[in-house]
Every structure is written in C-alpha cells, then in structure tokens.
Amino acid sequence: MRAVYVRNFAPFEQIDIAEVDDPVPGSGEVVVDVVAAEANYPDILVIEGKYQVKPPLPFSPGKAAAGRISAVGSGVKGFSIGDAVAVQVEYGAYAEKVRARAESCFRMPDGVPFEKAAALGLVYQTAWFALKERANFKPGERVLVLGASGGIGVASIQLAKAFGASTVIGGVLGASNAEVARQAGADHVVDLGVPNLRDQLKTDVFALTNGHGVDVVIDPVGGAANAAAFRALAWCGRLVIIGFASGEIPTIKANYLLVKNIAVTGLQWSDYRDRTPDRVTQAQKELFDLYSRGLIDPVISRIVPLVDFKSALSALQAGQAQGKIILQVRPELR
C-alpha cells in the first residue's frame, strides 16, 4: 500500500510517500481501507517528534480517517468486512490502509460522505469533550471560542450552539476568518489582532454580553489571546486549554483565579479514547446524530490527494487553514 512514511523524526517537508506492507489485524483489531483522512496540526508535531506521544519508527502519521473495513481480526464483534466506519487512531491514518482497535471504529450512518465522517473525528470529539466534560457546559451559558475559524474553533462554535449556548463569540484574526466563524454559527466575532488585546477583548466581550462576560472559553491558541480571555471570563467562568497554535505556551497567574473563582482545565482527548472508549463511542454517535439533524456540519475548505499532504500541513503550520483540510486517499467505496 501507499503511505506517508516517517523513517526518522524530521520536518514534514522531508517526508515522502512510500510503498509499505499492508497491515494485518491482530486480536480485537480491524483494517480499514481509507477513503479520507483528517489533516490536523498535531500531525506536524508527531512527524517532528515533538508531540507528547512519539510513535515507534518507522510510522505513518494521521489520527482520524473514514473508509471501509477490509479485514477483521479474531475476537471482533459487531463489525464485518465492507462496513463504512470512521476511525480514531494515535497514528497511521495517512495511508491507504490503517489498522485500528475495533472499539476505536464508529459505524457511519447512511448518507454521510466519507470526507464529512473524517472531519467529524478528532476536532469534533475534542470540542465535544471540551464543552461537556472539561467545561461542564450548561444550556444558556455564554461561550468564547479562540481560533474560531480553525477546525476546533468551528467545531466548538457549532457544538456550543447545538448544546444550547445563549451567545457564542468567535475570536479570529482577519476578515476572511471572521466570515468563517459567522458561517459556523457564531453570534458575534471579535478581532484578536488589535494592538491592546489584553484590555480590548474584555471590553468587547462584556459589551456583547451585557456586562456578564463569558462562562466558558475554549482555547486552542494560547499566547496573548489566552491571557486576554481570562479577563473576559464571568464569575465562576471556566477556561479549557486545548493547544497552542500560536506557538506560545501561556503562563497562568494563579492569583487571578481567586478573584472571580475561575477554573482552568486542560484537555488531551486521546486519554478519553484510551481510558473511556465507551464514552468516546457515545460522543461519536451523538456527533453523527447532530450532523444527520443538520445541527452541525464540518466546514471543509480543501480536499487534496494524499500525495499533496505537504500542502495541507503547510497551510496548517501557517495558520491558513479555515475549517478542515481533508486528504483524499482513494475514490469513495460506495
């Protein structure tokens, strides 16, 4: 099979496609013929050896895909060859075939395109757990989403609205990103590129919430936006840190947490996948249901062939990806 193949940790520009052996399922595992894979910023870190989990060399990157099961290992129940599934893995999705635990595969409802199923994977799972588990979101609350035009940003906006948020504010850089956030369902958009962001974000957010502030902040950005978002939180507000797309890991001033009883939590979604797979299955079923009901819909800005994976990662690295970029691995297997 063809696969993006990492022999040594290196910048992704130095990685190429290779012909490698087809995977063979072990006990409790399946092999999926990949139709579409989800390109994500953490894939860059994995390739470079900078991610918190380093795969054994050599390997193929990629954490989410969709396709059809082509082989079933011993002990697998509930799946058969030919089933259309979304799949979540630690690595391996940038390939024509991926091996996965059966419990990390999720049957696709009829009518869901493979590229949409792939896009409903990692970022929507992350946003789901950020809101429901880490932020303990309640209907009627106000939410600020940083990096609102990116994959996690769009997913967080759509899910916050689907869960009953009274107000969702998207924080973005630039007019084109603002339009993406609005199309995703943001009630308001604020500019994270203003000169005095520390004070201006609080002023803007309080004006948009009648002086209340936001109850929840979803932060995949870090940096100066994180520090400014603290000041925009309401009493007993919760800030969920997901990542540091800005490249800057913020420092939290613990004394500020006491002023308004603020809670700060972190999220690494893969821990839920590994520790509570039943909960992840429940989340994915709900995500597919919300999609089928028209309440969420991944924004896919680009679909590129697997051989052009470097262009997808370049856009992610430069912060130019709006919504999701999907890798088309093979023609649809309908």
- The ranges of the chain with pLDDT < 70 are 332-334
User: Could you tell me the residue ranges of all domains in the chain?
Assistant: 2-120+298-328, 123-269
C-alpha distance across the termini of the chain, in Å: 20
Predicted pLDDT of residue 334: 44
Angle of the 197-208 helix axis to the 223-232 helix axis, nearest 10:
40
Q: Which two tokens stand for residue 268?
A: 């690494």
Predicted pLDDT of residue 332: 67
Residue 231, class by beta-carbon neighbours within 10 Å (0-12 exposed, 13-18 middle, 19+ buried)? Answer: middle
Helix (H) or strand (E) holding 45: helix 41-48
Evaluate whether the domain defined by 123-269 bears CATH number 1.10.600.10. no
Write out pLDDT tens, residues 275-303. Answer: 999 999 999 999 999 999 999 999 999 99
User: Could you tell me the sign of the dihedral formed by the alpha carbons of 185, 108, 78, 277, in that order?
Assistant: negative
Cis status of the peptide bond prior to 58, with omega within 30 of 0: yes
Evaluate whether the domain defined by 2-120+298-328 bears CATH number 3.30.365.10. no
Residue 248, class by beta-carbon neighbours within 10 Å (0-12 exposed, 13-18 middle, 19+ buried)? Answer: middle
CA distance 123 to 171: 17
